[in-house]
Amino acid sequence: MTTPIIYWFRQDLRTRDLPGLIAAAATGRPLLACYILDDISPGDARPGEASRWWLHHSLQSLSAELSALGGRLLLRSGAAADVLDRLLRETGATEIFCSRVYQPWATHLEQSLHDKLSPRGVTFRRFAGSLLFDPDRVKNRSGAPFKVFTPFWRHCRSGQLPAAPRPQPANIQWYPASPDTEDLADWSLLPTQPNRASQWPQLWRPGAEGAHDRLRAFLAGPVSDYNDGRNHPARDATSRLSAHLHFGEISPRAVWQAACQHAHKQPASASQIDKFLSELGWREFSHHLLYHFPALCSEPFRGEFSRFPWLGNAVALRAWQQGRTGYPIVDAGMRELWSTGYMHNRVRMVAASFLTKHLLIHWRAGARWFHDTLVDADLANNTCGWQWVAGSGADASPYFRIFNPVIQGEKFDADGAYIRQWLPELAQLPNRFLNKPWQAPVEALLAAGVRLGENYPPPVVDHGAARESALAAYAQMRTD
């Protein structure tokens, strides 16, 4: 029997526009498709609770895709290097194909696998597929990585643009003697105590078909309001493709091509599409930064922030996590996150600013919470986003830019639809008090059924005093 090529699925859970799978199929050799749940690797490599829910359903979808092509998805758990070594011995395979993962732990794993397998005559081949532009090839005029988004994106768009996506390979030859597989249900990826995901199947559709349907729906409607609408959390104006992209259920090339074709067919949408593509660019930039500066996961990009006098207030952190800060736009966002596994990007910035600048809690604490609670938790995007808001990152928002949560709520949720959806205890308050219930007169609170300190908390900090404390901490850091 001909030995197989092992195709190792990672963050590329699809069969369309998957260069490694296409290359493996083109050899004419039988394929053995596998996915490895590596819960032994560093914490950054392990999905959080919400991501595990998505992963469960995404693997179900991928398994169905492969089955429709005549194949089978082999599931194994354990340290990836050990599992692959066992599969090589079980099958006699001498080739492993996979997609690259541009994260520090993955880069180390890939290099160690190459070093370990090459002397044994095993070919380990990695392919692009998760990004539009290879971080190895995107350099500034000095040959160094970019540190500012605008020149990075200008450089990317001025060169060779992404190639057209390719269809799934046809006539794949599958390895008939597939080894034993583990049962997905035994991996216990779904939350149980509590089962906060009970309503998620009505909100999300993990898998390649769900990803492509989401993209089509976005281009058919919401993209027409993207420039302005994406800042308003109550509007349906964003793509919500982030989890699909993280798990590789759709390729960024497929998203790029569909968006460009839409702009060509409907020229009036060109500016909306251009803004949407620039948001894809920020995803690229985050991966570019983390690839070239792997310490970003734990250390500030701007070294002086290592001296910042962060506070370790566990009570305040818990209030933030539970959506009990007393600032409605922040609390609405944190409750949306817990209920849906998602938070609107504008509100993510406001909530992150509140944690790092109003409460002076380290951005790593916020990043850890988002990693565990977001279905789209992505190491590069999450890390760079938090560092950007905290002021310590590359091309970051200045530290002294401190969001006023009252103004942010009044500006971007003017009619209060978003706050009322997620904070029903405030739903009867008039708009003028909705973002600052502590300023409402007693009669307005009574009429709305709001009892501050009972069914809704007073502010955990005063905005003005918190702003002064944050600026003082920043000044202290700069003089130390």
Domain 5-129 has CATH 3.40.50.1220: no
Which residues are the active-site residues?
Answer: 279, 282, 310, 345, 363, 386
Q: Is the pTM of this model over 0.85?
A: yes
Question: Consecutive 10-residue runs of the chain (480 residues): their mean pLDDT?
Answer: 92 97 96 91 78 98 97 95 94 96 90 89 94 95 96 94 93 91 96 90 98 98 95 97 98 98 94 97 97 95 94 95 98 98 98 97 97 96 96 87 96 98 98 97 97 97 96 89
Closest CA to 347 of 455, 231, 426: 231
Sign of CA dihedral 200, 204, 206, 210: positive
Provide CB contacts within 8 A for 253, sequence distance 6+.
Answer: 17, 132, 162, 163, 164, 165
Residue in 454, 475, 461, 284 with CA at minimum distance from that of residue 384: 284
Backbone angles phi, psi at 225, to 5 degrees: -115, 20
**Amino acid residing at 260:** C
Residue 40: its pLDDT value, please?
A: 67
Q: Which residues pair with 103 in a beta bridge?
A: none
Burial of 452 (C-beta count, 10 Å sphere; 0-12/13-18/19+): middle
Half-sphere exposure of 226 (CA within 13 A, CB side): 23
- The closest alpha carbon to 177, from 4, 24, 25, belongs to 4
Report the pLDDT value the prediction gives residue 171, as an integer from 0 to 100.
86
Concatenating the DSSP letter of every residue in 85-144 gives HHHHHHH---EEEEE---SHHHHHHHHHHHHHHGGGT-EEEEE--S-SS-TTT---TTSS
Domain ranges in the chain? 5-129, 131-162+207-292, 303-479
Q: Write down the pLDDT at residue 126.
A: 96
Residue 430, classified by CB atoms within 10 Å of its CB into exposed (0-12), middle (13-18) or buried (19+), is exposed
Evaluate whether 316 touches 28 at the Cβ level (below 8 Å).
no
Q: Look up the CATH architecture of domain 131-162+207-292.
A: Alpha Horseshoe (1.25)
Judge if the upstream peptide bond of residue 194 is cis by omega within 30 degrees of 0: yes
Q: Rounded to the nearest 5°, which phi and psi values hold at 341? A: 75, 20
Contact 16, 208 (CB under 8 A): yes
Structure tokens at 207: 């898998």
Side-chain half-sphere CA neighbours of 411 within 13 A: 11
Assigned CATH topology for domain 303-479: DNA Cyclobutane Dipyrimidine Photolyase, subunit A; domain 3 (1.10.579)
**Whole-angstrom Cα distance, residue 390 to residue 161?**
33
- State residue 180's pLDDT score: 93
Other C-beta atoms closer than 10 Å to the C-beta of 233 total: 27
Separation CA 101–CA 131 (nearest Å): 9
3-state secondary structure (DSSP) of residue 250: coil
